[in-house]
């Protein structure tokens, strides 16, 4: 996924925090196995593209009223990782991609 990647309907835009999250996760997984890191990157892209086709189908987060429009979806094949996104006119904007064991609320607060 590229930050500028957007389509007519079902496009995916990746925000700067999500880009850093992806870079960090890929670097970490590359230490385990280069193949694992590549598979993760592909699965994040595929999962985000699937969600972008039907952005309203996913559960809203429980991160408070300021993030009421943020939804979540698990990365296929990597159930510990969660894509946090906002529906936009032509698809989704990925705002974070985080491991579920992290302090998610604190990480969102740090973005503000």
Name the pLDDT band for 55 (thresholds 50, 70, 90). Answer: confident
Among residues 75, 41, 74, 79, the alpha carbon closest in space to that of 59 is found at 74
* Counted domains in the chain: 1
1 inside domain? no
List, in sequence order, every residue forming a beta bridge with 59; answer none if it has no partner. Answer: 72
What pLDDT digit, counting tens, does each position of 63-104 carry? 655 666 788 899 999 999 999 998 888 889 999 999 877 766
Give me the domain span that covers residue 96: 13-111
| CA 47 to chain CA centroid, nearest Å | 9
40 inside domain? yes
2 inside domain? no
Give the 3-state secondary structure of 33-97: CHHHHHHHHHHHHHHHHHHHHCHHHCEECCCCHHHCCCEEEEECCEEEEEEEEEEECCEEEEEEE
**Over residues 26-41, mean pLDDT:** 96
Is the distance from CB of 37 to CB of 44 less than 8 angstroms? Answer: no
94 inside domain? yes
35 inside domain? yes
Task: Supply the CATH number for residue 53's domain.
Answer: 3.30.2310.20
3 inside domain? no
């Amino acid at each position: 996924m590229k930050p500028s990647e957007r389509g007519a309907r079902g496009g995916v835009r990746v925000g700067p925090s999500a880009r850093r999250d992806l870079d960090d996760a890929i670097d970490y997984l590359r230490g385990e196995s280069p193949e694992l890191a590549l598979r993760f990157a592909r699965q994040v892209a595929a999962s985000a593209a699937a969600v972008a086709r039907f952005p309203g189908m996913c559960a809203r987060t429980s991160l408070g009223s300021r993030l009421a429009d943020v939804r979540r979806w698990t990365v296929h094949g990597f159930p510990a990782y969660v894509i946090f996104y906002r529906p936009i006119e032509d698809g989704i904007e990925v705002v974070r991609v985080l491991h579920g064991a992290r302090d998610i609320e604190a990480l969102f607060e740090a973005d503000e």
